[in-house]
Homo-oligomer: A and B are copies of this chain.
Amino acid sequence: MGKQANMARAFKAVDGDFEARVRDSFARQTAMRLIGARMGRLEAGYCEIELPFRDDLAQQHGLFHGGFTSAIADTACGYAAYSLFGAQDSVLSVEYKINFVSPAAGDRLLAVAGVKKSGRTLTVCEFEVMAAKGEEQLLCACGLATLIRLADRPDRPQAD
């Protein structure tokens, strides 16, 4: 909880319309729709993605599959970084590292990602994933991601 507050730093977006741009991009991710992930709070340099539990999201023991823990964490990092980019840029994941620290058991996962360093080409984000059961939240994964800005390659293909 403290971490979430802590990650939302005083970044200033260069694109005043970043929220519409980010949410539009997320909405085009059919993968996130398939698993039922939703974008939550979004600020300049900060992004939350939530994943409610469903029986078809499980690993062999009936808990959230780690691949989806990673998927929402990676996506949250991408959009935390992308929120600080210009309207004509797009973003790609270069790499990330994730530690699974507790079983992903609960009624939903909450991935929170914050920009740690925003460079001209590369952005570094940190993330945490909480497994929530009602009001309780337990840290279930954490990590770091490196993202790259593709300058002047808009995320949404232009109509011609």
Contact = CB atoms under 8 A, between A and B. Distances in A.
Contacts of A31: 56-59, 65, 67-68
A105 interface: no
Identify the interface centre among A31, A96, A117, A122: most chain B CB within 10 Å of its CB. Answer: A31
Chain A interface, >50% SS class:
mixed
Interface string A141-157: 01110101000000110
A111 to B, nearest CB: 11
Nearest to A116: B142
A83 interface: no
Contacts of A100: 92-95
A60 interface: yes
Interface stretch (A12-20, A21-29, A38-46, A129-137): A21-29
Interface of A: 2, 6, 25-26, 28-35, 55-61, 65-68, 70-72, 74-75, 90, 92-102, 116-117, 119, 121-122, 124, 126, 139, 142-144, 146, 148, 155-156
